[in-house]
Each structure stands twice: as C-alpha cells, then as structure tokens.
Amino acid sequence: MSQNFSHPLNSLSATEISEAVSILKKSNKNHENSSFSYISLEEPDKKLLKENTNLERFVKIVGVDQKSNGFEAEINLSKKELIKEEKISNKAGPTYTLAEIFKAIELTMGDENYQKALKKRGIKDLSLIQIDPWPGGGFVNKNIKNGNRALKAISFLKDSEKDNAYARPIQGLIAHIDLTENKVVEIEDHGVVKVPEAHARYDKDGQEFLRENPKEIAITQPEGVGFSVEDNLISWEGWQLRASIDPIEGLALHQVSLNNRPIFYRAGLSDMVVPYGSSDPMHWWKAVHDGTEYGFGTMTNSLTLGCDCLGEIHYLDAHKLAFDGSVETIENAICIHEEDFGVQWKHNDSTQMGYNEVRRSRRLVVSSFATIGNYDYGIFWYLYLDGTIQLEIKLTGVVGISAYHEDIHKSGQDFKISPELASPIHQHLFNVRIDWDLDDGDNQLFETNVEPLPINNVNPEGTQFQAISSHLTKESEAQRNIAPEKSRTWKIVNPNKLNKVGSPTSYKILYGNTPTLLSNPDSPPGKRAAFAKHNIWATPFQNEERSGGGRHTVMHSGEGGLEEITAKDRNISECDLVTWLTFGVTHIPRPEDWPVMPVEYCGIHLIPVGFFDQNPTINLPPSCSSISKSNK
C-alpha cells in the first residue's frame, strides 16, 4: 500500500492528483478529452478514523466528458485503481468546468446576433468586451433541451486593457448558450440603453490621487509564534485542528479539539446562494450557487504577505485539478497567524483592595479568500483563548451592476450607486455544515428562548423572565429561525459528560443579525436553495449528506437538498449530530460600495456553555506588552 501521506486528513498532494488522473485516463480512454471540474479527498468518517489511522486513500474526480455528460469517478490511490465510475444525472449536473466557461464566452463572441446587438449600440471592437457567464439553471431558456448544460452571459465594455469593465454595462443584452449543443440559442435584447461613460477603476493607477501612506503598523512576535503547523495539523494554546481547501466548500476545518476534548469533526460551507430581487432583465434570474455551480474552493486566491494577512504568517498551499487534467498549485492558499484581540477580561476593584486585573485576548486566525466572478469572499475562522470559535465571512469585490435607466429601475429594488449606474438588491446566504463530536460522543440539540413570566402572586410586578430550553428530537423540529426578541440560541449538548455544577457539557451557536431566503418558496431559487429558508437544520450523520442544496446543482430544480435529506423526519434526540447553519446578508447597495465594496461581515460564534468549570482564561498571566509606548 502506498503511504506517501502521514494522516488520512492530509490535503491531497500534487503527486496524488496527477496519479489519480493518470489512473482514470488509463482505465477509461474516453477521458482523454474530458474536461475536469475538481478532485476531492474522500474523507473517512469519524468512527472509521477513531478506530484506524492507517486507512487507504480514496479520491473522487468529477468532470464533464466530450458529450457534455457529467461523471464522477472514485479512485483508490493506495491500490492505484479505479473503484467505480458513474454518470451524473443530467437533471443535476456537476460544477461548470473552466473549459465550459471559455466555450460560452467564445460562442457568444462569435454569434452573429450578438455582434448585431453590439453594433446597434455602436460597439465594433470586440477585443474590449468582457463577457460574464452565469449558471443557466433555475430559469432555463425555452430553447435549451431538458438535460442539456447551459450558461447565460451578460456583457460589459472596457476602454483599455486595464479598465474596470463593470463601470460600463451593456444593458439588457443576455446570451443563452447551450453547452451540450455548442451554440448560442438566443440573444435576449431588451433595447438600447446608452453605455455609461464614466470610468471607475479600483487599481492604484486608476486613482486621481492616492492619500499619503498611513504610518506602518508592524506586528512582530520577537519570541516566535505561539502556534505550530505540521502538514495541515495546527496546534495553538490547547487547540488542535486541521485545515484544508475543499474544491466546493473552500476552507474547511477538521478534528477541532481543545485540551484534547473534541468539539467538531468537520466544518465547511455546504452551500451558498446569491439570489437577486430586482426586475432588471440583467439580474432578476440570478441565484448562483457559488460552491456547487462554480467550485468556490477551486477559485481560492494565492495570498500576498503583508497585504492579505499581516504579521508572522504560516501559509499552506493547496493543489487543485485544472480543467485539462493538469495540477495547479495555489500557493499561500491558507493563512495562519495570531492576532491580538483587545481585552479578554478585566476588573478594576473599587473597594479598599484597589487592584486592577486585566488580561489580553488573542486569537488564532485561519483564513482564505476566493474570487467568484465579480465577488470576493473571505472565509475566516477564529479560535479564541476562552474556547470561542468564530466563523466570519468577509464579502467584498464588485457589486452586480446595470446602466441606470428610469424606465427599467425601481426604487426599493435598484439603487443608484453612481450617476449612471444602478445596482440591484440581493442576498448572500451561506450554509455551514458542522459535523459535531462534542466531548467525544453522541450529541443532542436544544433550543433556548428567553420569555417574560406572567404577572401573578410570585411575580406581582411583572419584572421576571426566564430561559426555557427544549430538546429538539426530530429533524422536523430542528428547522428553526432566529428570534432576537427572545434571545433565541441553540445548544449542542453531550448528555454523558457532566461539568462541575452537574450539567451536561455544551456549546452554544450564536447568530448575528441574519436574514433567511426572500425568494418565494415555489420559485426556482426558492426550491433550489431551500436550505436558506431556515437558519438552522439538524440531521443524524450520514457520510454522503454534505451539501445543503444537493450534491450537484447545475441545471437542477432542487433535488437532493436539505428538504429532501430531512423528509424522512429522522430521530436526532441523541446521535452523531450534524447542524446546518444559514446566515448571510441582504445587500442594499450604496454609493460607498462602488467601484469596489468595502468588506461587509457576517457569520456565527460557537461558545462554550458549561464545557469548562469556570472562566478558562482565569490563569492567563498578566503580561503587558513591553514595546507599547505612552505619549505622556
């Protein structure tokens, strides 16, 4: 058995990827001209891994063959053999490959009707056109045969190579491309709207003037960093975890534990969707699933030292399968570093003792960025000294954009972000799947609401309120939404591990201000992204249940997502528990989002509740920074 990896959850190496591709191509000659979506490690489940660390290594290769049929091949890397290969239903196809994206651009560019529509707008030079393909599912063009793969495309005009094309949308022109039949089936033209004139570059050379450099902030750790990294295993202040880039989910965490106590086995973005709420013909049909349709993780950036991350950084590279079967390395794909995080706890005694005790907080940051079309998303996981785990998504990049026209754009749905441009209202909804292993055993899910008590003889003034926890025992009971007025939270509990006060150990899920899906449940986005109807779902662990919206979503109409997964209404009263947490933002674009959007944040916190017997940071030494200066 080949043993060129040291742990079953180590990320795939470049050698393993090329080996897998050559095993596939040798076993099936038809793949010589296939186009690949991604390769992923078939991770062993927690039970298997707890029993045995010397496991065979399996991978899955997903792609599209020459005839535009999706395929999924499972390969045993240890035995160097193809285990099985299956055709993926063309009702719910695999992630678009880069070859398909290029093909859509090329077909559109070469289409006679598209060129005529450009000419009507006075555009003759095709070299300055930028074409953005969007998934063809959801609202499928009437000329696309059922089961064919398709893309839609919208266009923008640059005036030079380095120009920001989004400043100049070619309004109302949408190309429909049938990828299976290699043709443009329709050019939708909603009439000529003047192409905006103003430019809006966001690079430094595009600015009239640059402000003087802010004074440098140096983050140094003269005694070295407090964390260590071996392969993808990270250790810091009692925390242990592994990090990897999943081709669909992006940055994923594995085997997260604190002081050798497991918390969760795996967490990653199970799906995301960006539905648009405008009636503008350029946007109303958009509801992209950036993970399963475009491969969020395969779009991971190489990070730049001192820009993307500041301080003493350890990077992990990631290797991916390119569409042509070659291996591409994303250097510096995952950034690991420590950050000071202000005050951890403090008390300034006001009695005669007069002491002031203060301890500083710090966190370990494990992060990555992925760019999917016009948007850039950061996935930031933070681990804190007090046991808190935070997932923060950073949203930036360029908003969806149209050439403003008073007959097209409606107040409340489209927002002027510059004199010539409108941007549509939309949502970004993320679903993170957490496979729990809290305190090394089966777990339970509780919901807590805080409610006022009725006025009666024990509460005569109506001042009293209480927290009521209820045990959610079935999948149908665990499809819930936030309720800030009730301080509603959910708790993952290990009923078999008790703390010092005799309560079971637990972790609480805290949401910020977050919406759920606004598309009608019967609309295509409502069915395809049904996972976003609720802030929390819970299921008993099943290895193949990994995606909130279905494993494959290209051209699909809602198969395989959380509604289907939970339809049997299984028992979750005490089980190997998985929670699916939806959060995000409803984005009402503003002028400040133009020409590039300042980061907006959303996410969740997981905090220990009776997991420890007291404040776990009470024993932090009172170390104050020796290099801080006062101006006095």
Catalytic residues, by residue number, are 290, 375
End-to-end CA gap in the chain: 68
| Residue 369 to residue 481: CA distance in whole angstroms | 28
Residue 273 Cβ vs Cu ion, minimum distance, rounded to whole Å: 12
> From start to end of 398-517, where are the E strands?
402-403, 414-418, 421-424, 426-436, 444-452, 465-472, 489-498, 504-511
Nearer to Cu ion, 250 or 400 (CB): 400
Site of tokens 């679903």: 431
Residue 600 Cβ vs Cu ion, minimum distance, rounded to whole Å: 7
DSSP 217: -
User: Prior bond to 595 cis, omega within 30?
Assistant: yes
Residue 589 Cβ vs Cu ion, minimum distance, rounded to whole Å: 7
The full length of the chain comes to 632
Binding test (CB under 5 A) with Cu ion, winner from 546, 554, 587, 604: 587
Nearer to Cu ion, 337 or 587 (CB): 587
For the window 547-586, what string marks contact with Cu ion as x by the rule CB under 5 A? ----------------------------------------
Q: How many residues bind Cu ion (CB under 5 A)?
A: 1
Nearer to Cu ion, 289 or 587 (CB): 587
Residue 518 Cβ vs Cu ion, minimum distance, rounded to whole Å: 13
Strand partners of residue 251: 245
* CA triple 148-152-153, angle to 5 deg: 145
Residue 369 Cβ vs Cu ion, minimum distance, rounded to whole Å: 16
| Residue 41 to residue 20: CA distance in whole angstroms | 11
DSSP 610: S
For the window 491-530, what string marks contact with Cu ion as x by the rule CB under 5 A? ----------------------------------------
Query: Which tokens in the block code for residue 128?
Result: 């300055």
Piece of the chain touching Cu ion by CB under 5 A; list 45-53, 90-98, 302-310, 587-595: 587-595
Q: Say whether 361 sits in a helix, a strand or coil.
A: strand
Nearer to Cu ion, 527 or 587 (CB): 587
Nearer to Cu ion, 363 or 587 (CB): 587
Nearer to Cu ion, 154 or 267 (CB): 154
Q: Measured at CB, which residue is nearest to Cu ion? A: 587
| Residue 487 to residue 508: CA distance in whole angstroms | 12
| Spatial contact of 414 and 394, defined as CB atoms under 8 Å apart | no
For the window 369-408, what string marks contact with Cu ion as x by the rule CB under 5 A? ----------------------------------------
By CB under 5 A, is residue 283 in contact with Cu ion? Answer: no
Nearer to Cu ion, 222 or 412 (CB): 412
Q: Say whether 565 sits in a helix, a strand or coil.
A: helix
Nearer to Cu ion, 550 or 589 (CB): 589
Question: How many angstroms from the chain centroid is the CA of residue 435?
Answer: 16
| Spatial contact of 38 and 320, defined as CB atoms under 8 Å apart | yes
Residue 400 Cβ vs Cu ion, minimum distance, rounded to whole Å: 7
| Residue 376 to residue 397: CA distance in whole angstroms | 5
Report the run of H or E that residue 18 belongs to, with start and end. Answer: helix 14-27
Residue 513 Cβ vs Cu ion, minimum distance, rounded to whole Å: 16
Q: For strand 239-246 and strand 70-76, is the pairing parallel, antiparallel, or unpaired?
A: unpaired
Report the run of H or E that residue 253 belongs to, with start and end. Answer: strand 250-258
Residue 5 Cβ vs Cu ion, minimum distance, rounded to whole Å: 39
DSSP string, 92-138: SB----HHHHHHHHHHHHH-HHHHHHHHHTT---GGGEEEEEEE--S
The residues that touch Cu ion, with contacts defined as CB under 5 A, are: 587
